[in-house]
Structures are given as C-alpha cells and as structure tokens.
C-alpha cells in the first residue's frame, strides 16, 4: 500500500501520528527555508511542509524539483498548522515530511487543474484524463455514481430485478437510425445496437419477470444536436399487471427518493397536466413550472380590429414578463431581434408595457385602445410594471416560438433556479404524430404504446385525435423520463403496425417474435425509461450532460482523446465480408 | 392495479380476506363439481378453487375454458385448505373464486412450463420468453441480479466509484478480434466495441478516480466454443496507489462477501499458488482444489527400465484415483479410450492397480517390478485400493491430458460438489506466452501488465522466463477473475510494445493516447476483472452460463428468438458507405 491515509482524511485528532500519503502535487510555495506543497487525491488536499530546520537537506533538494501534477509519496508527522485553513477539512493540520519519493514525474499539463480552468472545451476533451482530475468533473462523475446507486436501492426495495438484455440485436428501419455491427460468422448479415431494450423488456414481462429494470447503454445514430450523445444511458423499467396509475406512483416514488437522498429536498405529490394543456399553456410538452409566465390566448380579444397580422393568424398568444415595463426601447428591440433569429423564427413581436399608473403603451396603439390592452393584460395575467410579449401565426409554430421566448426570459430573469426542483407528469399524449413533410402519421412514443380504452375506432377516422396511455416525467423543463402502457395482444399490435404503414409482411419480419409472444399468455404491462445522463445533470443543478459523462464524444461523434472512429485495415474488412463504398 | 397480493404472498393469517390475484394458469384439475387451478406468478403459486356450491355458474363455466398459461385475474376469499401442501409457502390456504376475468388467452406452449421441461435447447431458445417462466431459469436470473447487487454493495462500501466507459471505441488489431461499427458521420471509419474497458480504466486512474468499478458488457468476435458468448459481462475494477497484495485483499474480501451473503458460506484466507506450481501439480492454471488427485512426476522412478514409451518422453506423470483398483478391465479400457479421444489426445495410458494386500498389478509388469511400482504409488500418493493412471509425452501436452483426465474422474466420482466452494489465487504468471505456431511471444494477460521488479532485462535474453505482477482468482476449477499491476510509465510501456512486435509507429497509432497520459502524472495502479456470467453460474452451483443469461446467443452467434443478425437494406448500407463483399 502506498499510503496509510488518503489526502482528505487527516484531522487535529491525528496530530503526532506518522503517516504516509500519496497523490498529485497541486502546487508548491517555496519560501526558501520552508516549502509548502499541496498534495491532492480524489478525497481532498493535505498541506505538506518541508522545513530546512526539521527536514533532511536531500529531501528539501528533491522537494524543490517537484512540478505541478508530479505523483509523489511522502512519509512524515502530522503537526498542527500555524495558520489554519477553515475552508478544507484537513485545514487544521499539515504533514512535516521526513521521506519523499517521486512515483512519477509529470509534463506541464496543457491546462490548469483547477476548479476554474484555462482550458477550452477541445483541449479538455483531448486530455479528458486531466480534466477528470478537476473537482467539478470529478464530483460530477461521483454524483452520477451516487444517483445510480440510489436508483438501484429504491428499485431493489420495490422487488425490481435487474436483467441484462443483449447489445447485439436486430436492426429495425422504423424510428431513428441504428448503429449496426457486421457479423463475421453470418456472412452478409448485421447486428444492430439497441436504441432501447424495448422489445426485450416486454418479452421479460411475457416471461413473468413481473418487475424489471436495467441501467443500460443505448445507441442512436442521429445527426448530433448540441448536448446529444450517440451512446447514452437509460434507467429502463417495466412492470406487469399494472395500470398507468401504478407506474406513475412507483416512479414518482423513485424521483422523490432521489430528491430526498441527494438534496434532502421533499415534495408533495407531483402535479399532472395533460399534453393538450401543456401545449396550450406553455407551448411545450415539457414545461418548466418553476415559474409562471403562462400563455394567454388572445384570439377573442385581438382579432376584432384592423390589425391584419393578427386577423390572419391562426393563433395570437402572449406572456407577461414580470417587471418588463421598464425595458428600454433598445432592450425591447433586442428581444424582437432575438425572436426573429432563425432558430426561433418569429416574424415579429408585439409588446405592451403595463405602466405603474394602470395605463398601457403598446407597439400597436394605432389599432388597439386601452380597453383592448386591459383585456390582454387580464388574459396573460400581466400586472402593473409587466411587459406583455405577443406573437402570432400558425398554432404549432407560434407556440414553439413563444415557449422559446418564455424560457429565454426566465433564464435572464434568474427564474430557473438550479437548486429548486419542480417535477411534473405530462399525461394523455397523442398516440400518433403527423409528419408534416410526408403527411404520414408515425408513433409519437413508439409502436408498442396502447391507445386509451375505446379509442381504437378513432384510428380510422381521426388518427391525430387518438390519445395514448403514455406519460412523460418532466423536471425543470426537461423530459427526464417517458413511458406508456403497452399493447399486449397480437390483434391490436397488428392493427397498430398497419396504421403506421407496415405491410403485414414487414410487421412479421421485424416484430413477428413479439406478436408471437403475445399469443402465449402476455400479461397487461407497461413501463418507463429515464434518461440517466440528463437526470443526473438536472439533479446536479446543470443543464448540459457532458461533464456527467466520463468520456463523451464531440458533435461529430468522435472521441478526440483516443481518436475514434478510425480506418480499418483491409484484412479486417475482408473477414467481415464488406468493403468501403465511398462516393 | 390488477392484484391485491401476488401469488406467493398468502398465508393462514390471511384467511377470510377478500383478495385479487393475477397470474398464469399453471394447471387445472376439474373434478366436475370442483375445479382446482394453480395460479402462478414470479413470486409463487396459489391454489384457486371453483366450487359449484359456492361459485356462480357462469364463473364455473368460464373456469372450465381455462388452458395452460392463460393469463387471468380472480377475486375471491382466502379459505383454509382441507389437505395442506407443506411444500409451498401458500400451502395452507386456497382462494375461493368469486370473480374471474381472462386477461389474455394462450396458445398451447411448445414445451411444458415445468422445472423439468420436455423442451430441447433449440426450442427453448426460440421461445426464451416461455423458458424464462420456468423456475430454474427465472431463479437463475434473479440470482444473477442478487450477485450484482451484492458486488455493488461491497464495492460501494469500499469507496469504489462506478464509472461508465464508452462502448463506441477504437479497434486494436492486437489480441482477439473486435466487433466493429461503421460510422455514418465519419465516412470510411469504424468504431469498435470494447473487449474490455482496459485502457479507459487506466485513464481513470491517471485521472485520479482512485477506485473504479463497473459492471459492463464486453464483446469478442471469436469462433464460439461451447459456453462462450460474443457478448459477456465483466465486473471491472481498478485501483491506484496499490500493490498486488492490496488488490488480492480487496477482491478476496469481495468473494468472501458473496459466499457469505449468497450461501452463508464462510472461509478462511484463500490459498495462493504460483502458476508454475499449479501447472506442475494440476497440469492447469485454474486447478479445482475441492479434491486432491495431485500429479506425481515419475521421471526419476520410471525412466530407468527398458520401456521406450517412457524413456523417450519428456514427462511421465500420474495421478491416484481413489478406490480405482476395483475398476474392471472393461472400465479401464473405456478410460483409455477416453484419454485417446481427439479432444484429449493421449496416445495411451499406463495403469497400476494398488491391491488391498499391498501388491501392485500394472499394465507394464513386463518392465517394472513391485519395488518400482511402490515408488510410483508413493510419488502419486496412491493408497491400497487406488488406481494409478500414468501418461507420458511432451510436458505441456501431457499435463493438459492428465488434467483433463483428473477432472473427468473427479466428475464421475462426485468430487466436484456444487455446494462446496474452494477459491484459490494463482499468482506469478509468466508475462509472455510463446505462440508455438508463429514462434512469437505475445502477452499472456495483456500488453499493459507490468513485469516483476528487476525482470525487464530478462526480456531480451529469456522472454519466456519473465514473471508478471499478474494473478487469477480460481473458483472450483474455473477462472472467475484475473488482473495485474499495470505499467505506468511511458518508457516501460514502449519497451513492452517493442517486445510484442509493435513498431514505434504502430504503438503510437494504437496506444499513443495512453502513453501520452502516462507522461502527465500517472500513479502506480492495478486491477482485476471478474467474468460475471461464470461467477454467477459457479456461485449458483452450475458449470454452464447459458441459463444465467436472459437472452443468450447460440454457437453461431445467433439470437434465434429475434432472428439476428439479419440482412440490411441497401439504403442503410449506402448511408454507412459500405457494401457487401461476399466471395
């Protein structure tokens, strides 16, 4: 063993003990006759002291050569510090060094190993092993491990069994793009990496496992948006003999358990909101309800005058910005520019200042009188001193735009407090979603989701109106989990595939095994999957997932540290019976 | 909720309660006026009773239609059984059914869902979801989940952090064959699936994570021997600032914890044996020490007569088979046939019967006298009544052959008791292994293993003699874990790659990131990985891993249930910039 204690362990009670420590040189201060060196490991920092009066000369000489990040081992005596450091747990003591051994030297790191580093994203990723030495990254990874532990503790207490499902499965063209793996032993054939263990967990329910979970890697070959990873981790769960209510209760319990264990944060029953209500009130199916700024639909009070922009719009809708009436003209112009950015896409924005004296000043005073504007204020819940921002256009688009504006303003106003947690169930999702480009419907959740009882018939007449037994768990404006009650009989599943555009042959080829299984005694079942990366980030008070992943990939799907992916040699390709086909 | 209790819950104390149960129909006995139905779920079996005097006629009618594996829900009253069944926990009660609903019908399963099924391996794999309903498979999966839980509990107590390492990494031609994944976004390039997280866990040590573990899938594209899977699960561990002794202690502790928690089996410190001793005494680097039958090397007492077979052999070696002197001539001939099978490959076998009267009768009485044979008995530890089996030939081959015979005989003699556990550390492995076909040395463990201190120089003169800081944990004749102290400086690592036949350019291209990392302050480190599949099987008292894997693949690497791997369509291949190249 290279140490008797770690660098976070020693306290005043250890004074006079002889100890051995190992770790990294954080920094040294050489005062000539005394050298202080901060020694760091995962557990903390301990101050070492080399003193010309009390330490051998050759040890002092060696200590003078220590650079940042050298790996050393020291033996010495724990003594009381003259000037105590109350900021760190070891701040009452220091170690007077008797023996020093350099276990490994270190080149100067390409960025500083400090909480606030001077290294940019790219260089930090290339030297991720150095980045992980920094407290914020190290603590994020430790936090992730704690979250996973608590998830397992809770689910094991609830009699869930963790079952590993296979990674080498079959590609299904439906849905997102699969990563595939050529099979050497089955020439010309490919495995696919799972986008989720969906069909396997359903088969485990058919197999009577009753309550299944797994913390499992999933894979999706999508063009990467910011903060998406080609491989990601799911907490995947499934239960048999349950209804939606049972699942919501269990996973509400899990989320409460995590908030309690990790933040000592207690919360009453989670609110529930229908998908339709969420879209109407927040323009979004994952609303952040830590703050208000709810949508006020203004069609009835804004389409009666000669303002053509509104009159021709499908939806006129506004939000009240707290204390926004004090914004200058310049600030408001900037806000208008912001909503006109291509990422948001509004054509313009109407605003109303709600003055402290109860009067209104708007950008459309030409068309609307004080009485009109008072109604807008009432509908949007605006108070004196607020600013009403109004957008108009096709319903879906304008809702998305106003939702983006709402989130942006909340961010600027400091309303998205990272240490406040506002979970929310969004329920009654539509079963199908219209792809506006192709005009086809596809499954909003996935093709195994069951429609609400009695709504199968609607599939033929009004597919968009069919609601599903599907639900999302939203936390602070992020979807952290989603699931559904599944179809568990062959006929319904076949009907669903038909409505999704599968021929019977395609359905059989891709999911025949599942429909077969449904004929041998499938219980009613349903489940839910959490995105662990995002759950951990939000519980950790952050919005980006990258620092909660030990070795993330960049936006081109590359691991810049190991330089993957990479070319293969022809022998390897030949064994797999494939060759490159680069246009 | 479809039930108030599960099928394993009800006891005498519940009598008179009204309960709702759901589950599968295990079997029904229709006595005309009474029907008894066994209802099964994951938790147990509860007997239902439908009684013409106490149950509504329409419910009785429906009950008569129930087939095996139908999924039903019943509500009824818990009553005392007339004839109790002491074999099951619910045996004191039955449920008098009032309401019955068929939740799902079931076709007749292709094999019986019983502990001893009539289904062969192939059909059970195709309908694995039905196989999982059988107790032996279900219990194996639950047992696996318990083992994984206990592993995590122990390691978390020891301050290990579970860190997820990436699945999409880089292919390295060295070692076993990788599964690869074409990258769509990086044309012509491929990821590889990890054979182990080896380099990542070492980088985590460089990153200061200090104690890492992960229960993780690994992948190896090898021609499948029996009981191997292309994807398998490892308990992967690494520690910094440790020596071999520290690692052995921690993982000996883990193994003791598992034996205690799962079997209430306590054991003193694990014995340790050098690789050389294991090979000499058991012909094998993973000896089963639940029984003796140690090798006796007979060169000095068998090469002094005119028996050419022995005189020309490199090694003459025997074992004593307890009570084998009573074997008939026919039985011994069968044993000789057994060692001559191509899988074993011996050319013949010499035997000596140690008679109860102290005399010997051998198949080579022509060459050896009683005094010679007495020495053989002494060397092999044979007692009166035993049979000595002697093989001869080139040392490595003959040891492997005699080891196979030793294991076979122990199996036949019932010496390999599944509920007895004999762990063993095998240490001081050679660093390199000679590939007899190519004449090249390759790493016995992997290229990151460090040689014993002071042995680097031997690499140039006698590479086969260099010992490594490498160790295996053996349990009941199976290697369940292995690891090593790693190299942690760039120069040693570069030297190692050179000796393994890498050019400096190849070493840099494949492992440059690791050697770079070693220059930025790498601590001394080492680790160990357990094969979870085998560990679970052996702890579960079995030798084959297949029933401890929910969805295993067959020997061609196929999942016969979902029929994977499968062909891809050309569009998918085109997106990946590859095409088939079938000769």
Separation between Cα atoms, residue B426 and residue B443, nearest integer Å:
17
Q: What is the pLDDT of residue B118?
A: 87
- Give the residue from B168, B188, B508, B582 with the most A CB atoms within 10 Å of its CB, the best one to mutate: B168
How buried is residue B497: exposed, middle or buried, by Cβ count under 10 Å (0-12/13-18/19+)? buried
CB contacts < 8 A (A, B) = 365
Q: What is the pLDDT of residue A539?
A: 95
Question: pLDDT digits over B146-204, tens only?
Answer: 999 999 999 999 999 999 999 999 998 767 899 999 999 999 999 999 999 999 999 99
| Cβ-based neighbour number of residue A483 at 10 Å | 25
Q: How far is A44 from chain B (nearest CA, A)?
A: 11
> Average pLDDT per run of 10 along chain A, which is 583 residues long?
97 98 97 95 98 95 97 98 95 98 97 91 95 96 98 97 98 85 94 96 98 98 84 98 97 98 94 98 97 97 95 98 95 96 96 96 96 97 97 97 97 92 97 87 92 89 93 96 96 93 92 96 98 96 91 94 93 92 84
Separation between Cα atoms, residue A277 and residue A281, nearest integer Å:
6
In chain B, positions 216-245, which contact chain A (CB-CB < 8 Å)? Answer: 217, 219, 221, 223-224, 230-231, 233, 241-243, 245
Q: Would you tell me the crossing angle of helices A504-518 and A198-206 to the nearest 10 degrees?
A: 40
Q: What is the pLDDT of residue B271?
A: 97
Separation between Cα atoms, residue B7 and residue B46, nearest integer Å:
5
- Closest by CA to A229, choosing from A546, A547, A550, A562, is A546
Find out whether the peptide bond into A288 is cis, omega within 30 degrees of 0: no
Considering only CB atoms, A162 lies closest to which of B104, B145, B203, namely B145
Say yes or no: A323 contacts chain B, CB-CB below 8 A: no
Joined tokens for residue A510: 């891709």
The structural domains of chain B, with segments of one domain joined by +, span 12-104, 139-272+423-548, 291-412
What CATH class is the domain B12-104?
Answer: mainly beta
| Beta-bridge partner residues of A13 | none
Say yes or no: B206 contacts chain A, CB-CB below 8 A: yes
Joined tokens for residue B188: 């012509």
**Residue pointed to by tokens 């190991």:** A562
Q: In chain B, helix, strand, coil percent, each to 5?
A: 30, 25, 45
ipTM score of complex: 0.95
What CATH class is the domain B291-412?
Answer: alpha beta
Considering only CB atoms, A563 lies closest to which of B1, B156, B170, namely B170
How buried is residue B582: exposed, middle or buried, by Cβ count under 10 Å (0-12/13-18/19+)? exposed
Q: How far is A124 from chain B (nearest CA, A)?
A: 12
CATH 3.40.50.720 fits A139-272+423-548, yes or no: no
Q: What is the pLDDT of residue A439?
A: 83
- Give the residue from A243, A520, A557, A561 with the most B CB atoms within 10 Å of its CB, the best one to mutate: A520
Give yes or no for a contact between B238 and B526, defined as CB atoms under 8 angstroms apart: yes
Residue contact A579–B577, C-beta within 8 A: no
Q: What is the pLDDT of residue B441?
A: 87
Question: pLDDT digits over A374-416, tens only?
Answer: 999 999 999 999 999 999 999 999 999 999 999 999 999 999 9
Regions in chain B scoring below 50 on pLDDT:
none
In chain A, positions 158-187, which contact chain B (CB-CB < 8 Å)? Answer: 161-171, 173, 177-187
Handedness of CA B276, B277, B283, B288 (dihedral sign): negative
Residue contact B130–A70, C-beta within 8 A: no
Say yes or no: A580 contacts chain B, CB-CB below 8 A: yes
């Amino acid at each position: 063993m290279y140490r008797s204690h770690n660098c976070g362990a020693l306290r005043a009670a250890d004074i006079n003990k002889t100890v051995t420590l190992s770790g990294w040189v954080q920094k040294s201060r050489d005062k000539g006759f005394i050298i202080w060196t901060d020694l760091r490991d995962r557990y903390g920092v301990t101050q070492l002291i080399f003193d010309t009066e009390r330490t051998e000369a050759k040890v002092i000489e060696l200590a003078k050569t220590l650079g940042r990040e050298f790996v050393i081992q020291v033996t010495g005596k724990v003594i009381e510090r003259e000037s105590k450091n109350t900021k760190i747990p070891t701040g009452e003591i220091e170690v007077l060094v008797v023996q020093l051994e350099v276990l490994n030297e270190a080149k100067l790191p390409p960025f500083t190993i400090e909480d606030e580093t001077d290294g940019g994203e790219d260089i930090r990723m290339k030297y991720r092993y150095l980045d992980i030495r920094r407290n914020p990254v190290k603590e994020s990874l430790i936090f992730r491990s704690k979250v996973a532990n608590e998830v397992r503790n809770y689910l094991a207490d609830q009699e869930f069994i963790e079952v590993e499902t296979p990674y080498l499965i079959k590609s299904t063209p439906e849905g997102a793009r699969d990563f595939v793996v050529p099979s050497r032993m089955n020439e010309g054939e490919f495995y696919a990496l799972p986008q989720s263990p969906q069909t396997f967990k359903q088969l485990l329910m058919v197999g009577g496992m009753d309550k299944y979970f797994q913390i499992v890697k999933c894979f999706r070959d999508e063009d990467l948006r910011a903060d998406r990873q080609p491989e990601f981790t799911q907490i995947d769960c499934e239960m048999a003999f349950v209804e939606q209510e049972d699942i919501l209760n269990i996973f509400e319990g899990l989320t409460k358990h995590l908030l309690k264990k990790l933040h000592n944060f207690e919360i009453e029953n989670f609110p529930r909101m229908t998908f339709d209500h969420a879209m109407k009130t927040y323009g979004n199916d994952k609303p952040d309800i830590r703050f208000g700024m709810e949508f006020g639909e203004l069609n009835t009070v804004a389409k009666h005058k000669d303002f053509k922009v509104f009159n021709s719009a499908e939806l006129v809708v506004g939000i009240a910005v707290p204390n926004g009436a004090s914004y200058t003209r310049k600030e408001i112009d900037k806000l208008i520019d912001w909503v006109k950015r291509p990422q948001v896409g509004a054509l313009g924005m109407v605003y109303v200042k709600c003055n402290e004296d109860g009067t209104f000043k708007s950008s459309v005073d030409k068309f609307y009188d004080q009485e009109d504007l008072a109604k807008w204020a009432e509908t949007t819940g605006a108070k004196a001193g607020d600013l009403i921002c109004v957008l108009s256009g096709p319903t879906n688009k304008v809702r998305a735009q106003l939702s983006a504006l709402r989130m942006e303003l909340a961010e600027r106003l400091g309303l998205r407090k990272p240490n406040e947690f506002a979970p929310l169930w969004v329920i009654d999702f539509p079963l199908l979603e219209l792809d506006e480009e192709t005009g086809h419907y596809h499954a909003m959740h996935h093709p195994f989701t069951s429609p609400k009882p009695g709504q199968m018939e609607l599939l033929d007449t009004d597919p968009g109106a069919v609601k599903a037994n599907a639900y999302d768990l939203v936390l602070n404006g992020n979807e952290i989990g989603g699931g559904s009650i599944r179809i568990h009989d062959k006929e319904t599943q076949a009907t669903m595939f038909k409505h999704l555009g599968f021929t019977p042959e395609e359905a059989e080829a891709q999911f025949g095994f599942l429909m077969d299984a449904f004929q041998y005694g499938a219980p009613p079942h349903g489940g839910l999957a959490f995105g662990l990366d995002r759950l951990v980030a939000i519980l950790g008070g952050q919005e980006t997932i990258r620092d909660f992943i030990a070795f993330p990939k960049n936006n081109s799907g590359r691991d810049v540290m190991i330089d993957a992916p990479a070319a293969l040699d022809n022998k390897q390709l030949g064994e797999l019976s494939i060759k490159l086909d680069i246009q």
